[in-house]
Amino acid sequence: MATNSQKAYALHVKSIIDGLSDDLNKFEARVIILLRQASDRVVSKLARVPTGSWSTWHYEVLSKDIKGILADFNAKYDEILQSAIELGAKTGIQTVTTPLAGAINMNVFYGSPDIFVPAFRDEWTMRLVNLSKTKIKDALGNAEMQIMQEIMVGMMGDLPQYETIQKIADALTGQIGGSGARAGFRSVNDRALTIFRTETMKVNNLATEMQGQYAFNEFGGRGDKMWLHGVFHSKSVAKQIAKMSKSKGRRFYTPRLGHEMLSETTVPWDGVFTNTITMTQLRFPHDPDAGAGENINCGCSHYFVPPKDMLLTEKQIVSLAI
């Protein structure tokens, strides 16, 4: 049974992680706004194309304009993504160092004070940032290609311009199944939000793992880890996708049942968690060895649980508060 000291430690950790979740939801809301703005700008650009024969349609100019709109989105998206990943790394470190700094009993801990020095380095964070930025570019290129192909089909088939423009506009700004959910750049939407969630929580868990390993070593190979499910399952996006799912009569956004069942499960730090649905073993959420099926869109986190005897006693906590 957990002592009051352990409960206080866990609450401290969860308050840090809850703060990360709130901040990431705000970041993701900004990404959604950017996606909508980009699709609206393309529709506005198409609406200003001179009507009449296809000969008045400046294909190359329009292609350049759409590339510019998508490039502008990419630059702003990269900025948000970098901030989110840096926050994920920083919080991953803090979930280990900050609670320990306030709860460790220095009368019985004889390890190195370097336990509070970040083990996850800035250059590793930036490496993941740069890797993540490259993943959105293919989706942006595909979105541009799809729009220009639709225009080319209209030109080759000598279809009325307004029909082609309306078709593209409906695809970008129309509702899905009357649900109220915006279609937008479907491939870009999916890729942008998936990259955002996956890469941010990946770096968060990697930072926690490296910092926790440092603590585990300093505690003489003692300590556990706890799995927390759904730290970052976006509320805003969940509502949006729920509307889409309802219109199709099925659930599209479904948290992994195996991860839900792992929530608040504790194992030795050098042990593994087992997803009892897939029977996959994971050292921690977003374990790269577990494969994409366990990692994509996963919003789970974990934290280091120190040995009971290394925490301040309740009497010590009371005396410090006086």
**What are the pLDDT digits (tens) for 119-169?**
888 888 998 888 888 878 777 888 888 888 888 888 888 888 888 888 888
User: How remote is the C-alpha of 271 from its chain's centroid?
Assistant: 25
What is the rounded average pLDDT of the residues 250-277? 84
Helix (H, G, I), strand (E, B), or coil: what is residue 158? coil
C-beta atoms surrounding 140 within 10 Å: 22
> How many structural domains is the chain composed of?
1
| Range 163-170 contact pairs with CB under 8 angstroms and sequence separation of 24 or more | 165/46, 165/47, 165/49, 168/42, 168/43, 168/46, 169/43, 169/46, 169/47
Domain that holds residue 106: 4-321
Residue 250 has pLDDT above 50, yes or no: no
Percent of the chain at pLDDT exceeding 90:
37
In the prediction, which pLDDT does 53 show?
67
In the prediction, which pLDDT does 110 show?
80
CA–CA distance, 23 with 83 (Å, rounded to integer): 10
User: pLDDT of 290-319, one tens digit each?
Assistant: 998 999 989 999 999 999 888 887 666 555
Residue 113 has pLDDT above 90, yes or no: no
Helix (H, G, I), strand (E, B), or coil: what is residue 295? helix
